[in-house]
């Protein structure tokens, strides 16, 4: 009687398709995945613990280092939690600058996710095209903040700096070009039959399971659930913009990918509207905030829609100038939790497609 | 028809093939850096009042600042940044009320040796009030120190970067500065 036996194989930690230092211990039956056990922690730096020995302001640069592909949003999340804790007001112009820079950061993150996903399933050209636009976005963000990836731009009660002269016009021009670029991605990646064969009907995720596992972001919306914090619980000034929340149908890899592409178009729409509206708003970019920040005893939780999903910051204050505890709800980490069940029964090559479609950043997973 | 997508994709690829190149041949050509670029730090010792705000604002304790009291005023004797721990977040620049520390556009900061990494912006001795004054190091860009400098008596430049050329000939007590500031 012929009998097959399972064996284990390491996927990562040094593997370019894991998007960082991430290991999956695979139990395989031939080429079929029986069990996929994610092992994370290779990039753990203890940011939550480090935050306890830093003052409130000094934690901001550390939040950059979590999701370093969209660090503007990470800054924003943390700053929002502390603002909630202290009841700080944010001037209107600062809110607009946060929305513009945050959406630009989201766009940069999604462009990278799209390009890298094309690379994961074997399309190198798409990867290069996406990086061409990302470069333009990085240049703009660098002009605004001085850094290319780790911005540390948000401050309590505002932002660090106003937009430099002519920056909004440059951004407007990029936003004019962007839909054309996204059409190119659609032509090159989305419409490609090989890409579709690799991603459609692969790694299905039902809407019920997605909710049960508390997944969020494009992973959740790809399964057909219309839940975007910007619409569901509008924070900041998101209620002033007209945009849609793209949702998928089947919850497969293709839907998750395509949600991101369509989200890019919505981000472009939001930025265009924000540029129009910010022109009429002149005012301070930073509210009245004491230099030595000592929030009252208590705790606060604030969440925003990051590029990967719902990003939450829980800050506990004991009345001193250092946070007693900072906890982060990292969407990448929570979305990764379903990887095992999602990849069971698929081939090794499909695991790369599945992992790529979740769009994780290891800086955020390991924190 | 199956294959339409491939043809469309190929068309886009060919269009890109003939369009303008985006690549910059790095060491020869370089991008222009924006004004706010977070590069190597420049320090103006004349403006510094040794208030320690920058050192306290730093999340990683990068800044080592020492001062001595000279005639009821604080005199900055040491300002060293352990740049290997620096996050380039700009908290120190933001904290400075006197505009003494700033970013420059210089991004090339790699070193061959570990000892050469710390950025020595100021390292000098405080002027003694009465007896024979000590010689200040080339980085002693403070004017307060200058009148009392004897011996070589070279005019010291204001900015650390400019002082690098002179300090190269100034072999005494030059410390590690020339290697760093020269490049």
The average pLDDT across A267-276 equals 92
**pLDDT > 70: percent of chain A:** 100
B9, B11, B87: residue with CB nearest A61: B87
Backbone angle region of A26, left / alpha / beta, with phi > 0 → left and psi within -120 to 50 → alpha: beta
pTM of the full structure: 0.84
Q: What is the predicted pLDDT for the residue at A265? A: 92
pLDDT digits (tens, 9 = 90+) for B75-134: 888 889 998 899 888 889 988 888 889 999 888 888 899 888 888 888 888 787 666 555
Query: Would you place residue B1 in the very low, low, confident or very high pLDDT band (cuts 50, 70, 90)?
Result: low
Q: What is the predicted pLDDT for the residue at B67? A: 87
- DSSP annotation string for B28-68: TS-PPPPTT---SEEE-TTT-----HHHHH-TT--EEEEEE
DSSP, collapsed to helix, strand or coil, labels residue B103 as strand
Contacts of A60 in chain B (CB under 8 A): 89
pLDDT digits (tens, 9 = 90+) for A7-49: 999 987 888 888 888 889 999 988 899 999 988 888 899 899 9
Instruction: Write the CB contacts of B17 (distance below 8 Å, at least 6 apart in sequence).
Output: none
Instruction: Write the CB contacts of A234 (distance below 8 Å, at least 6 apart in sequence).
Output: none
CA distance A121 to A123: 6
Instruction: Give 3-state DSSP helix, strand, coil % of chain B, rounded to 5.
Output: 25, 15, 55
More confident residue, B167 or A127: A127
Contacts of A146 in chain B (CB under 8 A): 34, 36-38, 90, 103
Contacts of A57 in chain B (CB under 8 A): 57, 91
Does the structure show a pLDDT above 50 at B172?
Answer: no
Residue of B nearest to A187 (CA): B9
Terminal-residue alpha carbon distance, chain B: 61
Shortest CA gap B130–chain A (Å): 40
A59, A62, A187: residue with CB nearest B8: A187
Does the structure show a pLDDT above 50 at A150?
Answer: yes
**pLDDT > 90: percent of chain A:** 34
Best probe of the B interface among A52, A158, A187, A292, by most B CBs < 10 A, is: A187
Size of interface A-B (CB pairs under 8 A): 80
Nearest 5°: phi and psi at A105? -65, -40
Q: What is the predicted pLDDT for the residue at B74? A: 84
Shortest CA gap A191–chain B (Å): 5
Does the structure show a pLDDT above 90 at A111?
Answer: yes
pLDDT digits (tens, 9 = 90+) for A310-342: 999 999 999 888 999 999 999 999 988 888 888
Residue of B nearest to A123 (CA): B9
Does the structure show a pLDDT above 80 at A99?
Answer: yes
Closest CA to A236 of A346, A116, A94, A32: A94
Q: What is the predicted pLDDT for the residue at A263? A: 92
Q: What is the predicted pLDDT for the residue at B171? A: 38
pLDDT digits (tens, 9 = 90+) for B15-34: 888 888 878 898 888 888 88
> Across the interface, do A188 and B3 touch by the CB < 8 Å criterion?
no
The average pLDDT across B146-153 equals 40
Query: Would you place residue A104 in the very low, low, confident or very high pLDDT band (cuts 50, 70, 90)?
Result: very high
- Helical axes A92-120 vs A348-358, angle rounded to 10°: 170
Query: Would you place residue B153 in the very low, low, confident or very high pLDDT band (cuts 50, 70, 90)?
Result: very low
Contacts of B8 in chain A (CB under 8 A): 187-188, 191
ipTM entry: 0.79
> Across the interface, do B59 and A54 touch by the CB < 8 Å criterion?
yes
Sign of CA dihedral A292, A313, A65, A93: negative
Residue of B nearest to A127 (CA): B13
Q: What is the predicted pLDDT for the residue at A20? A: 81
pLDDT digits (tens, 9 = 90+) for A44-74: 998 999 999 999 889 999 998 888 888 899 9
Q: What is the predicted pLDDT for the residue at A128? A: 87
pLDDT digits (tens, 9 = 90+) for B41-65: 999 888 888 888 888 889 988 998 8
- CA A350 from chain center: how many Å? 23
CB A74 within 8 A of CB A67: yes
Contacts of A165 in chain B (CB under 8 A): none
- CA A223 from chain center: how many Å? 18
CA distance B118 to A1: 69
Closest CA to A218 of A109, A357, A79: A357
Q: What is the predicted pLDDT for the residue at A291? A: 79
Q: What is the predicted pLDDT for the residue at B163? A: 44
CA distance B37 to B42: 13
Average pLDDT, chain A: 89
């Amino acid at each position: 009687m012929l009998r097959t036996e399972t064996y284990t194989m390491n996927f990562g930690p040094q593997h370019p398709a894991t998007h960082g230092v991430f290991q999956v211990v695979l139990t395989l039956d031939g080429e079929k995945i029986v069990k996929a056990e994610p092992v994370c922690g290779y990039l753990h730096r203890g940011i939550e613990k480090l935050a306890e020995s830093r003052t409130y302001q000094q934690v901001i640069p550390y939040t950059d280092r979590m999701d370093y592909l969209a660090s503007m949003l990470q800054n924003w999340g943390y700053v929002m939690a502390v603002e909630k804790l202290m009841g700080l007001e944010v001037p209107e112009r600062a809110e607009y600058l946060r929305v513009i820079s945050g959406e630009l950061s989201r766009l940069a993150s999604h462009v990278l996710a799209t390009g890298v996903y094309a690379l994961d399933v074997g399309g190198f050209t798409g990867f290069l095209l996406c990086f061409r636009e990302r470069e333009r976005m990085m240049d703009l963000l660098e002009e605004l903040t001085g850094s290319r990836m780790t911005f540390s731009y948000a401050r309590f009660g505002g932002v660090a700096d106003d937009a430099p002269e002519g920056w909004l016009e440059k951004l407007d021009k990029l936003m004019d070009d962007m839909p054309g670029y996204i059409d190119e991605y659609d032509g090159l990646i989305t419409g490609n039959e090989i890409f579709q064969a690799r991603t459609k009907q692969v790694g299905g995720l039902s809407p019920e399971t997605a909710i049960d596992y508390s997944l969020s972001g494009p992973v959740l919306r790809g399964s057909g659930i219309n839940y975007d914090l910007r619409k569901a619980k509008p924070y900041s000034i998101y209620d002033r913009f007209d945009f849609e929340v793209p949702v998928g149908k089947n919850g497969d890899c293709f839907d998750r990918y395509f949600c991101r592409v369509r989200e890019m178009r919505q981000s472009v729409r939001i930025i265009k509207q924000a540029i129009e509206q910010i022109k009429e708003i002149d005012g301070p970019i930073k509210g009245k905030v004491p230099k030595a920040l000592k929030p009252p005893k208590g705790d606060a939780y604030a969440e925003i829609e990051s590029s990967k999903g719902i990003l939450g910051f829980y800050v506990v204050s004991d009345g001193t100038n250092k946070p007693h505890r900072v906890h982060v709800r990292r969407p990448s980490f929570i979305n990764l939790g379903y990887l095992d069940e999602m990849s069971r029964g698929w081939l090794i090559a499909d695991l790369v497609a599945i992992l790529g479609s979740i769009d994780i950043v290891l800086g955020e997973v390991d924190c | 028809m199956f294959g339409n997508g491939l043809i469309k994709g190929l068309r886009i690829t060919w269009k890109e093939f003939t369009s303008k190149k985006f690549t910059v041949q790095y060491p020869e050509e370089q991008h222009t850096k924006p004004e706010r670029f977070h590069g190597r730090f420049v320090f103006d010792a004349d403006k510094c009042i040794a208030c320690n705000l920058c050192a306290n604002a730093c999340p990683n304790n990068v800044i080592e600042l020492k001062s001595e009291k000279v005639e009821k005023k604080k005199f900055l004797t040491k300002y060293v940044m352990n740049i290997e721990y620096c996050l380039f977040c700009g908290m120190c620049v933001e904290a400075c009320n006197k505009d003494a520390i700033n970013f420059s556009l210089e991004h090339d900061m790699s070193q061959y040796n570990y000892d050469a990494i710390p950025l020595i912006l100021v390292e000098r001795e405080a002027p003694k009030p009465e007896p024979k004054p000590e010689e200040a190091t080339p980085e002693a860009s403070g004017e307060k120190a200058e009148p009392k400098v004897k011996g070589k008596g070279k005019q010291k430049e204001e900015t650390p970067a400019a002082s690098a050329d002179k300090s190269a000939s100034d072999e005494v007590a030059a410390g590690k500065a020339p290697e760093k500031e020269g490049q």
